[in-house]
Structure 1
Amino acid sequence: MSGSWKSPEEFEALFRKHYRYLCIVALRITKNEEDARDIVQYAFSDIWLKRDTLNIIGDIGAYLYRIVKNKSLDMVNTRKIIPVELTPSIEDTTADEVYDEVIHNQRIAALWERIDTLPAMCRKIFVMCKIEGRKYQEIADQLGISVKTVGNHMGKAWKAVREGYW
């Protein structure tokens, strides 16, 4: 397929359309936001560098999904981390399951949009606690702040996320 994503403008539109969802896919597997963003960046860089020779049959979004999923699994396997939940392969799902997965991922994307609006420190603490699974004390020690400050940031984050999400 001679995709409509080979000019810089079209590629940027493709990036904007798929970036957040692909980050969620990678994050669900790697459990690390920075790794997830790196993997997605790699996927987009890879197709941009190969754009003149790459012949994708079908949907470019599905192709990107497969790259991100495989790179995420490679990273997890390299680190000897067992993922808690893997995204099921498309071949193993029914239409209803795919629909449910899409709805679920849209809700997660909306949640991440709300998280992205948080002030930097508040967002960092929220991600460390709720995405990376760190305890308040561990976060406080790492950031050089009190446990109470961590709790205050989490309270603000929860309030902002709830107001924008539900």
Structure 2
Amino acid sequence: MKDTKIDVRKIDIGISEEHRIAIAKGLSKLLADSFTLYLMTHNFHWNVTGPMFNTLHTMFMDQYTEQWNALDVIAERIRALGVIAPGSYDEYKKLSTIPGAVGTPKAMEMVALLVAAQEATARTARDLLPLVTEANDQPTTDLLTQRLDVHEKTAWMLRSLLEE
């Protein structure tokens, strides 16, 4: 995110401009991963087939609904730090650590791809914690902790479907 745009207004919330920009860059990566995960989950909800159709269709709907709501929280935290939140497919593609799914995978392959995407999103959130702690940014710490809880729990639930 080299074209980081800062609000014209001076922001004095007790976090240096340098920290605010660095945290916003990290949150932008989290937003990109979260959006990519949302899109993947919604796609799989639409296209899942097989004996576990109903279970997976419903589970994926719960997951993409939660992810959709999280996007706003992450983007609004970026804005509160005085930085423009990324909002295009091109930006997300550049920032995301999650590769897009190709074609229409079988149901259990969808589950495995979602496990990997949930884990990647958790890593992105966790990687930002040291900087946020250094900056004494409790709201972002809280946001990251909540996201970690969701992504780790969801990955565990999905992973359990892959066990024999």
* TM-score, length of structure 2 as denominator length: 0.26
Larger radius of gyration: 1
- Relative contact order, higher structure (CA 8 A, sep 6+): 2
